[in-house]
Structure 1
Amino acid sequence: MNAHPGSPAVPVPEQPSLAHRVTPGPQLLESAAGTLRMLAEPTRLNLLWQLAEGPKSVTELTAAAGVPRTVASQHLAKLRLSGLVDTRKDGRHVIYSLHDGHLVRLIRETINHADHRITGEPTHG
């Protein structure tokens, strides 16, 4: 097992897990709350929803989210600075993607949860 940098007492398995036991402390709770704050804005959540389907350029995200390019770019900059999205260059285009699979699942579950609340679809156990 490896250890998180700066946290030698916390072992990290060789293979990443989808979910694992954690004991939420102040630092972990603040980090989680920061992620949720980034998701708590409808345009950002829509952009993240689009990225949950796969990497996209600003042009693709602007069209899919139905927002002006400047609005999409401002939100994407916040998401990048918060560490939720990654970027790579593809010629003259910047391609955005979600940072990890936990975010994909979190965004999909958030949207599905809202769908259940709005449509009355029965909840899952």
Structure 2
Amino acid sequence: MRAHKNVASASTSRQPAIGDHSVLAAQVLGHLAEPTRFHLLRLLAIGEQDVTTLTAQVEASRSSVSQHLGRLRLAGLVHAHRIGRRMVYRVTSDHLRALIEEAHQFAEHLAYDIPHHDTAPSTLPPPAPASSTHGGEDAHPTRRDRHG
């Protein structure tokens, strides 16, 4: 019985709480919220580039570009590797690449007063309630399934 409890607690610790995904998503969007970082990510979504090439395409100093890239790298949004003496950066995820493109297209719709597309309903599950009247027991789907 004790081993079962240890396994259950170990598997629970690996699964983030539902609210954690919102926190992580907000942190990613926070990195995209700075215009220079967003521009850098948009350029890197096209393909990997070095600091010199990126600096020539944005309105920021080389030092500023390097600092922004460092923050993006620490956040896990870009990956850096060395080719000779150059540090080359790339976006780490196709999901991030798609998010950057969607954000840019959304901004174009706003800027040019283009009607937004209202396609199929969302396939995302509804957000979980922020709190529960049963001491949090019903907030976790697997617990609800076991008790229901």
TM over 0.5: yes
CA distance in 2, matches of 1:53, 1:65: 15
Write the letter of the residue equivalent to 2:68.
Answer: H
TM-score, normalised to structure 2's length?
0.68
Q: Which runs of 5+ in 1 are unaligned?
A: 11-23
Alignment RMSD: 1.8
Q: How many Å separate the matches in 1 of 2:115 and 2:83?
A: 43
Q: Which residue of 1 aligns with 2:36?
A: 43
Runs (4+) of structure 1 moved beyond 2 Å?
none
Matched residue, 1:34:
27
Q: Which residue of 2 aligns with 1:93?
A: 86
- Distance (whole Å) between structure 2 residues aligned to residue 76 and residue 94 of structure 1: 11
Q: TM-score, normalised by structure 1?
A: 0.80
- Choose from 93, 118, 122 the match for 2:115: 122
> Greater Rg, structure 1 or structure 2?
2
Equivalent position amino acid for 2:28 in 1: T
Structure with more relative contact order (C-alpha pairs < 8 Å, separation 6 or more): 1
SS in 1 for 2:88: strand
> How many residues get paired?
107
CA deviation after TM superposition for structure 1 residue 99, in Å: 0.6
Of all paired residues, the percent bearing the same amino acid is: 39
Q: CA deviation at 1:41?
A: 0.4
Query: Alpha-carbon deviations, 1:73-121, whole Å to 9, x = none?
Result: 0100000000000011111001000011001000010011000001012
**Structure holding more helix per residue:** 2
